[in-house]
Amino acid sequence: MGVALEKFPAICGVLPGGSGILTTADAFINWSRKSSVWPVTFGLACCAIEMMAAYASRFDFDRLGVIPRPSPRQADLMLIAGTVSKKMADPIVQIYRQMPEPRFVISMGSCANCGGPFHDSYAVLKGVDKIIPVAVYLAGCPPRPEALYYAVLKLQEKIQQMKIGHGAGAAPQQERGSRDLGAP
Ligand code: SF4
């Protein structure tokens, strides 16, 4: 599917009315992507409790198409919910690389954004964006499930802007081609 999508813009370029086909394809692909944002199931600290609450019946993420997956190979969203210790940096990058592209990251809470209350600690990373690209930052300690809901809506807005023809308007991961990430 990925290879077909990479070649599709070039094929449309030589067809009469190709740009119209491309725009329609963009709309359809973006709609299907944003309606099936599947997060990989893992949590790091207290923010993960709020993340779990968001999956539960009161907030019901399923209606946005957000269905947690137990394997990174079936997921396209990584929710960094909690304190990122330096010890966890390697496993996080490894899980991120196991996810198919395009893949997205939401940094949930102050700890994931910048180290939060543990900013001075020698053992805590000062923001998960030091090791993986982040599409949406969510402030709070911890952010409530409603805030996570809002972050997913913002991510959906970004996905809606993606174009398969080129990177313009795409999520940061797609613009940079997230394969170029270095090791932590
Ligand atoms: S931001 Fe606050 S609630 Fe979230 S993991 Fe850090 S200390 Fe815990």
Radius of gyration of the chain (CA): 17
Residue 182 lies in a domain: no
Q: What is the structure's pLDDT at 106? A: 94
- Give mean pLDDT, residues 19-42: 86
Q: Range with the lowest mean pLDDT among 13-17, 35-39, 54-58, 136-140?
A: 13-17
pLDDT digits (tens, 9 = 90+) for 145-176: 999 999 999 999 988 888 776 554 455 555 45
48 and 25 in a common domain: no
Evaluate the CA torsion angle 93, 98, 103, 107 in order and state its sign.
negative
Residue 81 lies in a domain: yes
Listed as own residue / partner, the contacts of 18-23 with beta carbons closer than 8 Å and 24 or more positions apart are: 22/164, 22/165
Q: Considering only CA atoms, which of 147, 112, 144, 106 is closest in space to residue 128?
A: 112
What's the CA gap between 50 and 47, in Å, rounded? 5
67 and 19 in a common domain: no
In what side-by-side order are the strands of the sheet with 39-40? 39-40, 77-81, 104-108, 136-138
6 and 95 in a common domain: no
43 and 27 in a common domain: no
Residue with tokens 């030091």: 130
With the most atoms of ligand 1 within 8 angstroms of its CB, the residue from 42, 47, 85, 126 to mutate is 47
Ligand 1 atom closest to Cα of residue 140? 1
Percent of the chain whose pLDDT exceeds 70: 81
pLDDT digits (tens, 9 = 90+) for 96-149: 999 988 889 999 999 999 999 999 999 999 999 999 999 999 999 999 999 999
Q: Considering only CA atoms, which of 73, 78, 76, 133 is closest in space to residue 98?
A: 73
CB of 100 shorter than 6 A to ligand 1:
no
**Would you say residue 6 has pLDDT above 90?**
no
159 and 102 in a common domain: yes
96 and 53 in a common domain: yes
Q: Which residues constitute the domain of residue 137?
A: 37-164
Q: What is the structure's pLDDT at 184? A: 38
